[in-house]
Amino acid sequence: MKEGVCLNLYMDLNQKHHGVLLYEWILNTVKKEKFLGATVFKAIAGCGKSGKIKEEHFVELGGKVPVMVSLVVTKEQKTLFLSLLDEEKINLFFTESIINFSNS
């Protein structure tokens, strides 16, 4: 087993960065930098510090529903990824957990 980090990044489904959906930008960055991996989870509803409930309605088909991108990275990759977010001026709420993983 190896020690690494799990970063859970939270955003809106339609949030964009340079015209690209933010979760797609993150996945492209993971691929480009050869990080261990990432998965995107779409929520059916969520509530943040504003107290406003965000949920998907049939009429909207997308919009402001929450998305979580879960990254599994080494400590070095975490440092690089967070510096890339800073360089790109991307401000996200995220959580960080120390994990043990095996890629065998």
What pLDDT shows up at residue 45?
Answer: 72
Residues with pLDDT less than 70, the chain: 54-63
What pLDDT shows up at residue 59?
Answer: 53
Domains of the chain in sequence order = 2-95 (3.30.70.120)
What is the reported pTM? 0.84
CA max distance for the chain: 47
What pLDDT shows up at residue 55?
Answer: 67
| 8 Å CB contact between 1 and 99 | no
Please name which of 58, 56, 75, 76 lies closest in space to residue 66, comparing C-alpha atoms. Answer: 56
What pLDDT shows up at residue 82?
Answer: 97
